[in-house]
Amino acid sequence: TRKIVLSNRFNGLPKPEDFAIKEEELPDVLKDGEILCQAEWISVDPYMRMRASTLNLGDAMIGMQVARVLKSRCPEYPEGSQVVANFGWVERTIFKPERDHGVETIYKMPEMKGLPDSYALGTVGRPGNTAYFGCLRVCKPKEKDTIVVSAAAGAVGSLVGQIAKIQGCTVLGFAGSDNKVKWLQEKLKFDHAFNYKTANLPDVLAQYASNGVDAYFDNVGGEFTYHVMKHMKPFGRVALCGAISTYNSTDSSKPALVPFDYGSMIYKNITMEGLHVLRWRDEWYTGINQLRDWILEGKIIVEETITEGFQNTPEAFINMLKGENVGKAVVKV
């Protein structure tokens, strides 16, 4: 099998030379309870930028994939079936599923009802549930609320905005290019969308959220978040989902510090709540099945940025961190 391993520590934005392809022999015969899986789709996600610092050099990069069971000695995962599993950037894997594995490790391919398999890594998977539970349970949107979403044209953000629209909110989305902004307005029907690289954030908020922001779904952290925080309405909710603006900071021993407006947070009774998608591991299928059905009903539009070829996974990852993806970034093995 082939694996993509970490060959250098990242310094700032990862580079192609930080990865290497390693060949490894797999045993010919499976032991009782084991399955042999072939990766079909591999997910590249922002969290890998941070998690890589916990790997040893030479370790395979971590991450979820959709894989086909080629051989099986485990009745629960028969030959020919598919799984969603945390096998990393690896082509073929031998694995022994145990009963107590949660959705973070391996689960059977959800019933896709004709949707592309790759969606199991996006809208009908982890990013989908992040948006679903993060938006509904943490942002708690009510009809006519004004909600701000950052990294709005990405896998999670594009769904948060659409879920908030389904709840009857006014949605302001921020993304890093004029094309993304156009897509958010024209295709996803966000009420307003802006290029955060060129817009003056305080001015935009003063004009388009003149009564304040009821909920902010934060994918980016940093200075952007500081400005949105200043614009929250009393009893506003801030969902801390990601801080991608800080992930490529070159000195990991010094987290990127940003101003924090305590006064306005306190006087306005703002709730700021961190969220990790695995908090809802026991409700996994509630989220992804609802998202799947919304897609089938035409209520949610899905976009993917597909990179072809296992060996191009690092490139797909780097391009996603650079913002070249619209919707979910995935690799077709």
Q: Give the x-and-dash track for 213-232 against ligand NDP (CB under 6 A).
A: ------xx------------
Contacts of 123 (CB under 8 A, 6+ apart): 155, 159, 291, 292, 295, 300, 302, 328
Decide if 127 contacts 156 (C-beta within 8 A): yes
* Contact region with ligand NDP (CB under 6 A), list: 16-24, 59-67, 150-158, 287-295: 150-158
- Using CB under 6 A, which residues numbered 303 to 332 contact ligand NDP? 320-321, 323, 325, 329
Decide if 299 contacts 287 (C-beta within 8 A): no
Residue 180 and residue 46: Cα distance in Å, rounded?
A: 18
DSSP state of 64: -
The answer to the question of residue 241 lying near ligand NDP (CB under 6 A) is yes
C-alpha pair distances (Å), 264 with each of 6, 203, 237, 238: 43, 18, 13, 13
User: DSSP string spanning 224-270?
Assistant: HHHHHHHTEEEEEEEEE---HHHHT-S-TTS-------HHHHHHTT-
The answer to the question of residue 125 lying near ligand NDP (CB under 6 A) is no
Closer CB to ligand NDP, residue 240 or residue 270?
A: 240
The answer to the question of residue 121 lying near ligand NDP (CB under 6 A) is no
The answer to the question of residue 130 lying near ligand NDP (CB under 6 A) is yes
The answer to the question of residue 188 lying near ligand NDP (CB under 6 A) is no
Task: For CA atoms 258, 239, 235, 280, give the dihedral sign.
Answer: negative
Residue 215 pairs with which residues in a beta bridge?
147, 237
Task: Write down the least CB distance from residue 219 to ligand NDP, Å.
Answer: 4
Q: Which of 18, 34, 45, 214 binds ligand NDP (CB under 6 A)?
A: 45
Q: Which of 4, 121, 153, 160 binds ligand NDP (CB under 6 A)?
A: 153
Q: Which of 38, 40, 47, 101 binds ligand NDP (CB under 6 A)?
A: 47
Which residues make up the interface to ligand NDP (CB under 6 A)? 45-47, 127, 130, 151, 153-157, 175-177, 180, 219-220, 241-245, 275-277, 320-321, 323, 325, 329
